[in-house]
Amino acid sequence: MKAMKAMKAYAIAYGFTAFIFLLLDGIWLSFIAKDFFQSQLGPWLREEVNLSLALTFYLFYALGITVFGVRPALQTGRWQTALLFGGLFGFFAYATYDMTNYITLADWPWIVVMVDVAWGTLVTAVSAAAGWSLTQKTLQNIGP
């Protein structure tokens, strides 16, 4: 029975976390940072985004946020845990991507590394903390 309750909590956390991350990152990429990335990475950007691959990324990344950020916070009962571990997960994931590009691709802008890693850290931390908070509220309302 305890395992079923935990699985329900993780499924709820995953749903909330995925929604929040997709929403925030969608706003960031579509409106706030669109011109920045176009000016810095224009020649490397596709005309059309492959939506099925993008959705696949978001689903997997949200699972990572849930496992490495939200799950520990559900165990401690503290939103600060989600914020910290979510932020660390975001930092390492985005830094791996951006630093690899900087190291291996000619003319990958250092400003993109800094902006993208900062954004990845922030959005992942916020998504984990918000996912944890919404999960806690939901679990309190639906009871055992």
pLDDT at 70: 98
- Structural domains of the chain, count: 1
Confidence of residue 1 (pLDDT cuts 50, 70, 90): low
pLDDT by residue (tens digit) across 89-129? 999 999 999 999 999 999 999 999 999 999 999 999 999 99
Confidence of residue 138 (pLDDT cuts 50, 70, 90): very high
pLDDT at 2: 86
Whether 144 shows a pLDDT value over 80: the answer reads no
**Domain interval for residue 84:** 2-42+49-142
First to last CA, the chain: 10
Whole-angstrom distance, CA of residue 93 vs CA of residue 95: 6
pTM: 0.96
Supply the mean pLDDT for the chain. Answer: 96
Q: Which residues, other chains included, contact 112 with Cβ-Cβ below 8 Å and sequence gap of 6+?
A: 37, 40, 41, 98, 101
